[in-house]
Amino acid sequence: MSKKRERLEVICDMLKSVESQKEIGPTRLLYSSNLSPQMFRDYKEEMLEKGFLEEKDTGKGKVVFILMVKGCSFLEKYKVILEFVENFGL
Amino acid sequence: MSLLTFLNSQVFATEVVYNFVIVAICLYISIKAHSLYELSSHKGIKYFRNAFVFFAFGFILRFVLNWLGGSYGIEFPWIMTAIEALFHYTMSMSGFYLVLSLIWKRLTGVVEKEYTLHFLGVAIAILNFIGSTDNFMFFTMLGILAYAIIISYGNYVEDAGRHYFLRLYYIVMVLAFVGWGANFLAQFVIPFYPPFKWYVYLITWTVFGSFFYGVAKIR
């Protein structure tokens, strides 16, 4: 049985999905995140609130997510954060 | 003793260097942890950061206490008492936050109410004030560090040597425990054997230096 993903790992996976697609719709991001809809909503809200992602209206009544500078910083620093957490038993 | 004499004394210079190094290390760790917390909102990083912010304040207050005690202690005893109480509070808080950074994940289902820690910190400061002693702070710190030794040893065994600092963490905690114990004993030993103070300082530097090494290595 695979280990439950940690919060930081989920955020990293979601941001990577957005990064690889440049822009991604909510449904595709939900599928790629492998989360329940409720959990996806919570994570999405958190990432929008923190400025990792931004919602962009495509003009056709559709919304897509794009990666922001802060989201890129998170991805760049992810390994450092993880190392910090693991080395100090946090 | 006049201020000038005190400033010129070697003891004062040593105190400046000793405290400055520790405060600088604590601020470095706090700033690095804060930058990572801003991105991650990771509770463990937040508690770890808070522990070192309180350590920094604690050592600043410790220095001010020594300085004022040597210069103006007799003229303004109420200022000394207030700073001492604040020192006891900050040092206790640093210990609480350090342990909380290690155990917060195990507190599943328990709402972590940080104000209870502040309440405990204030209670320790008040008890020390009422009893005109440092003992409540010392025993609290020793208890906290004993607990931290157990937790960090558990983390080390669980990790099976994958992360370099976990190997060192529990040794550092043992050293911190010895350091605080020696700090407590210093009041009895120093009158008979003054160099004992330098051993305590050396242990404390080693503890903070190890944390500095651990944090600085992560890039």
pLDDT digits (tens, 9 = 90+) for A26-64: 999 999 888 999 999 999 999 999 999 999 988 888 899
Overall number of domains in chain B: 1
Question: Is A1 among the domain residues?
Answer: no
Query: Given an 8 Å threshold on Cβ–Cβ distance, is B165 in contact with A88?
Result: yes
**Residue predicted with more confidence, B110 or B155:** B155
CA distance B113 to B195: 42
- Number of Cβ within 10 Å of residue A34's Cβ equals 12
Question: Is A90 among the domain residues?
Answer: no
**0.95 surpassed by complex ipTM:** no
CA distance A15 to A67: 7
pLDDT band at B109 (very low <50, low <70, confident <90, very high): low
Question: Is A49 among the domain residues?
Answer: yes
Helix (H) or strand (E) holding B75: none
Question: Is A2 among the domain residues?
Answer: no
Q: The CATH number of the domain where A14 resides is what?
A: 1.10.10.10
Nearest to A85 among B39, B45, B219 (CB): B45
Contact at 8 Å (CB) between B66 and B80?
no
pTM: 0.89
- Chain A CB contacts of B102 below 8 Å: 89-90
Work out the mean pLDDT of chain A and round it to a whole number: 90
Question: Is A61 among the domain residues?
Answer: yes
Indicate if the pLDDT at residue B155 is higher than 50.
yes
Distance from CA of A87 to the nearest CA of B (A): 5
Domain that holds residue B119: 3-216
Sequence-distant (≥ 6) Cβ neighbours of residue B155 within 8 angstroms: A89, B102, B166, B169, B170
Confirm or reject contact between B101 and chain A (CB < 8 A).
yes
Distance from CA of A47 to the nearest CA of B (A): 10
Query: Given an 8 Å threshold on Cβ–Cβ distance, is A70 in contact with B165?
Result: no
pLDDT digits (tens, 9 = 90+) for B31-67: 999 999 999 999 999 999 999 999 999 999 999 988 8
pLDDT band at B1 (very low <50, low <70, confident <90, very high): low
CA distance B27 to B218: 16
Overall number of domains in chain A: 1
Domain that holds residue A66: 8-83
Distances (CA, A) of B95 to A42, B34, B207: 33, 18, 14
Question: Is A37 among the domain residues?
Answer: yes
